Structure 1
């Protein structure tokens, strides 16, 4: 490892790799080779390229020491009661199988990818924030915006890290080969304090809106939404309610009349989208582009195997079959058909077929499904799905605010109004806005979107709800520190129970 290359990417705390540059639109990325830090940040164009590189780990789908495919939805859905791991067999993507049945060890599980990708993001934002002020010709307005973007992104990466691992190093400056192994774990409280600090600083430097050509870039509303969510996780109920109320009332976001339109690739950056991770279907990827994909490979992963059904639906690899429990909970709910597809019923009705995957239930994820109307015609079909992932959307912030209002003894009437709005959008009648009803609504509204496992953990319900999957209280609320991160003389201590 040569220290002069460490500044941009890493598969552990420190690493080597490529800067990526703009192509086609803001976050459609292609590798453009290696650059030395000493030769970079020479002009505003290079500063923008570095900003794009700081966003890049958000949509990185491979990572860790083995470069394994690692879309976070696959692991998070496998860990929850929404889905099973599935796939071709009990050994297919073993990282997802291990978190599905809670046989995680420091050497086996999705932690390598979560750790590597998020620390890659931390590393890139640390470098970005250390260099921007000295970029020749960079205007004061761009300096302010790029700095705010870097602060938001660093907070985002650390929020994932502290939720997933709890005990992580807090690195706010660039490292070199002599000190990378000397980083101790910070307290979770210190990490959360830094996340708050970064987000508060970011808010004032971000635009309230961005044009479609900059879709995916963070806005002031997104930073406030993330800060409100952070407060919620810290149980700072009044702060969470106030911040989320600001988002929900002052930025022009609106629930879409048709629930299914939220997830359509033809409706990106819609009025409900607060922070959206962009996936391009136009870059003609083939299998030779491994570790470069910015399309949505997860769409292909969750389709039914060897599917020969109606032409509007494509096949896939059979991962994350929906649990019968979730399908049953959704039946009779207007969101059912936009969330779950019953391939067993579909193939029987059309006299077609598919090959059942491991842990098959017959139910598959619809929100990100390989619908052929979304298929692109260039490159390898499996690798070029354009489905975005809306990480924060208005229905989510409505329900988070309602939860905060109730927990903090806040405005009960407002909590009821927000809860009613989410239900009314899909034609459901009002019910009392109790905490349990809000918990239930979050499950049905946000099913398979990657929130469920985090929700169960923070509510303290995971040991009971996930007991049948093997969840162990006091252990599985967080992931193990990756084995390789605790070797070679590092100061990192393994999480309890692993």
Structure 2
């Protein structure tokens, strides 16, 4: 039986498993397993340890489960889809709310989060003894500290009661780990991010040609602002996010180089990596030669293959060049109706039913088929790898962990809910809404909570935000009730069963436990 605590603690006390690295900001893929006692001897090895921490931000499970596709499957914007009712079953049971401590995405999401935490803690612990440039050492420590906060932010939102670990655990103590209160975890997240922000060695900008994907001061402020938003600290959230968004919504924030892309559609071009709207981005490559022996090891984006239409065939030259995919995450009719007359419709939704009805293309309907697919991430033939490995596992489209339109809307929400400057909130929302049209006109969107909710939904489809939004707004029971969502239970995921056996970790009360 797999034990995640065991797995992570082995990583800490016995080995630094860099062979699992998939997506680094410099495409470094260290090979082999280095005993920790023999590692961290110099700056290069410290850097490789940092790469290992960043790697977890883009975690892709061996069964195709990622944070983004799991959260999409649990939302009202998508069904799980696929080939049948048990295809990638972790997504199916989240989509229909039949998940349990032993079945569902909990295992992969818990494992990913704590893998990141433990890798960060290992690096932080080892850095003081590494002979290297002191400014770089400080930067590495701050990056690892901030990434630990990033991982804990996911863990506390997903599971509520989690162990709070800020240092390595001795092997004889791994079964004695207990959980902390959510308040304690959030305090640690805040403290970690504030400490990283205070480090002058974290740059405002990076050279994306060499360091694209690394944390900047702007990314740290964005993450702290998001944390404050979830804590309902409206003024603090608005202040942090204003630092990111700049004084004038829609104009470039020259301090960090952030600016909304002129075209919403351009955000999903595989060549448009680390653009001005990107705040924290997960890099993918078509050149890692990833194969079926280790899906989790590939640097390619597995989202591209799983959301594509099944058995896709072009019938006319005007047909889009989609790859034949696995038909996961079909878009619901409810979302289609909401976005159909919005200018973001075509870049977001691939209407295969229309293509089929007009004899332009054909496909085989999959499970829970609606005819609508996620165009943002549907793989294209033009992006198929020529560098070896399995083509299905080597698509190069990057993913946004945080982008500027999201931070605009988060600041607007903080202002609306905190009775702040509604004029600025309107300007922020209008900038996002106007960009969607890209027609030279201004499309004003008044700052109301309902308008904010709708704009977030249409802007961020498929990016893993919708489920979290519904839960924190308190809307999930009403919106997802027909799918099986139960208030007072499904706002969090169950702690994986493997974590409860022979440990002091307890299941949450929401899931029948005692904590």
Same fold (TM over 0.5): yes
Tell me whether 200-209 or 124-133 shows the greater mean CA deviation: 200-209
What is the rounded CA distance, in whole Å, between the counterparts of 2:6 and 2:141 in structure 1? 17
TM-aligned CA distance change 1:103 to 1:14, over 3 Å: farther
**1:471 corresponding residue in structure 2:** 485
Return the match for 2:104 from 109, 128, 139.
109
Return the match for 2:322 from 309, 313, 316.
313
Structure 1 residue 86: deviation in Å? 0.3
What is the rounded CA distance, in whole Å, between the counterparts of 1:218 and 1:9 in structure 2? 24
Tell me whether 15-24 or 441-450 shows the greater mean CA deviation: 15-24
Contact 2:218 2:256 in 1 (8 A): yes
Cα deviations across residues 106-159 of structure 1 (Å, max 9, x unaligned)? 1011000000011000000001111111101x1111011101110111000000
1:303 counterpart = 2:308: yes
Give the match's secondary structure for 1:364.
Answer: strand
Cα deviations across residues 259-315 of structure 1 (Å, max 9, x unaligned)? 011121100000000010111111122212333112101110000111112361111
Structure 1 residue 375: deviation in Å? 2.3
1:211 counterpart = 2:207: yes
Structure 1 residue 96: deviation in Å? 0.5
TM-aligned CA distance change 1:430 to 1:384, over 3 Å: same
**1:147 corresponding residue in structure 2:** 141
Contact 2:204 2:256 in 1 (8 A): yes
Structure 1 residue 10: deviation in Å? 6.3
Return the match for 2:72 from 68, 72, 77.
77
Match runs of 1:364-443 below 5 Å: 364-378=373-387, 379-427=389-437, 429-443=443-457
Return the match for 1:242 from 239, 242, 247.
239
Give the match's secondary structure for 1:69.
Answer: coil
What is the rounded CA distance, in whole Å, between the counterparts of 1:429 and 1:41 in structure 2? 54
What is the rounded CA distance, in whole Å, between the counterparts of 1:15 and 1:493 in structure 2? 28
Give the match's secondary structure for 1:269.
Answer: coil
1:259 counterpart = 2:255: no
Contact 2:53 2:116 in 1 (8 A): yes
TM-aligned CA distance change 1:39 to 1:15, over 3 Å: closer
TM-score by length of 2: 0.91
1:230 counterpart = 2:244: no
**2:466 corresponding residue in structure 1:** 452
Aligned residues: 489
TM-aligned CA distance change 1:270 to 1:10, over 3 Å: farther
**1:483 corresponding residue in structure 2:** 497
Cα deviations across residues 212-268 of structure 1 (Å, max 9, x unaligned)? 211111111001100000000000000000000001114231111110111211000
TM-aligned CA distance change 1:16 to 1:84, over 3 Å: farther
**Structure 1: gaps of 5 or more residues:** none
What is the rounded CA distance, in whole Å, between the counterparts of 1:289 and 1:496 in structure 2? 35
What is the rounded CA distance, in whole Å, between the counterparts of 2:328 and 2:17 in structure 1? 31
Give the match's secondary structure for 2:362.
Answer: coil
**2:250 corresponding residue in structure 1:** none
Which runs of at least 4 in structure 1 moved beyond 3 Å after TM superposition? Answer: 6-17, 20-27
TM-aligned CA distance change 1:91 to 1:116, over 3 Å: same
1:122 counterpart = 2:103: no
TM-aligned CA distance change 1:146 to 1:328, over 3 Å: same
Give the match's secondary structure for 2:392.
Answer: helix
Tell me whether 84-93 or 305-314 shows the greater mean CA deviation: 305-314
What is the rounded CA distance, in whole Å, between the counterparts of 1:319 and 1:17 in structure 2? 34
**2:297 corresponding residue in structure 1:** 292
What is the rounded CA distance, in whole Å, between the counterparts of 2:377 and 2:88 in structure 1? 19
1:356 counterpart = 2:353: no
What is the rounded CA distance, in whole Å, between the counterparts of 1:391 and 1:11 in structure 2? 29
Contact 2:30 2:48 in 1 (8 A): no
Contact 1:403 1:415 in 2 (8 A): yes
TM-aligned CA distance change 1:325 to 1:311, over 3 Å: closer
Contact 2:20 2:297 in 1 (8 A): no
TM-aligned CA distance change 1:11 to 1:419, over 3 Å: farther
Cα deviations across residues 23-53 of structure 1 (Å, max 9, x unaligned)? 9973424351111111111000000000001
Contact 1:29 1:294 in 2 (8 A): no
What is the rounded CA distance, in whole Å, between the counterparts of 1:169 and 1:441 in structure 2? 35
Give the match's secondary structure for 2:155.
Answer: helix
What is the rounded CA distance, in whole Å, between the counterparts of 1:474 and 1:461 in structure 2? 12
Give the match's secondary structure for 2:27.
Answer: strand
**Structure 2: gaps of 5 or more residues:** 247-254
Return the match for 1:88 from 68, 83, 87.
83
Give the match's secondary structure for 2:293.
Answer: helix
Structure 1 residue 448: deviation in Å? 1.2
Contact 1:126 1:173 in 2 (8 A): yes
Structure 1 residue 363: deviation in Å? 0.1
TM-aligned CA distance change 1:7 to 1:75, over 3 Å: closer
Return the match for 1:159 from 145, 153, 158.
153
Q: CA RMSD in A?
A: 2.1
